[in-house]
Amino acid sequence: MSYFREQPLNPNKKLQAYIIGVALGDGNLSNSNNRAVRLRISCDKKYPLLIKHIIYKISILLPNNNISKINRKNCIDISCYSNHWSKLLWNWDKGPKDVQNVFVPNWIKNDLELSKECLRGLFQTDGSIYTDRNYIMVNFVNTTPNLSNDVLEMIRNLGFKPNIQKLKQDNKKIKHTIRITKDSEKFIKEIKFWKK
């Protein structure tokens, strides 16, 4: 029996799907203390409401766990230790997310409501809303092939028609940019996407 007792995890699947989306977007895992896995989510300081919202959601997901904020130059790191992270997310000891080619779990992709929650988390961290020639556009950017394919699949399953561009970067990674140009405002409402 481990000395470090695992704290309870909220069984709410919508909440789990949202946090999985946030983590897949801007999260990373580590286990430097060899006791519990640490999820760190880096958020740009220009989104103070999103930072508060993510902290609140993690506090509901893991009600007995401490959540810390680390103030860095341009961002805030939200940090929480739990051995649930390895089960919910990906292997902490196998390298960065893009090296592991992480993906959205099937239990989320196979459910439209859970897909919306996960997409909101993904877009709030690695997505944006912008205006181009007076039209509202939405995009999502990452370098992980499996995750890009899952995002495309979930968006299509909701009835939208995204497009994707792939661009090789100087570091040899392929940047995937997924855009929704048609019915973007409807998509924003569908997944309740906001970023403030």
Q: What's the full length of the chain, in residues? A: 196
pLDDT of residue 2: 41
**Cα 181 to chain centroid, rounded:** 21
Cβ 10 vs Cβ 63: under 8 Å = yes
Angstrom CA distances, 70 to 41, 43, 51, 87, stand at 10, 10, 12, 25
**Amino acid identity for residue 53 in this structure:** H
The residue behind tokens 């699947």 is 13
Per residue of the chain (196 residues), what is the pLDDT tens digit? 343 456 789 999 999 999 999 999 999 999 987 888 999 999 999 999 999 999 999 999 999 999 999 999 999 999 999 989 989 998 888 888 888 999 999 999 999 999 999 999 999 999 999 998 889 999 999 999 999 999 999 999 999 999 999 999 888 889 999 999 999 999 999 999 999 9
C-alpha 180/C-alpha 90 separation (Å) is 28
C-alpha 164/C-alpha 50 separation (Å) is 26
| Burial state string for 49-66 with b = 16 or more CB within 10 A and e = fewer than 16 | ebbebbbebbeebbeebe
pLDDT of residue 99: 87
Closest CA to 176 of 115, 89, 124, 98: 98
pLDDT of residue 1: 34
Domains of the chain: 13-99 (3.10.28.10), 106-191 (3.10.28.10)
Cβ 129 vs Cβ 135: under 8 Å = no
pLDDT of residue 3: 39
C-alpha 191/C-alpha 179 separation (Å) is 15
pLDDT of residue 171: 82
pLDDT of residue 5: 54
Instruction: Kindly report the pTM of this predicted structure.
Output: 0.93
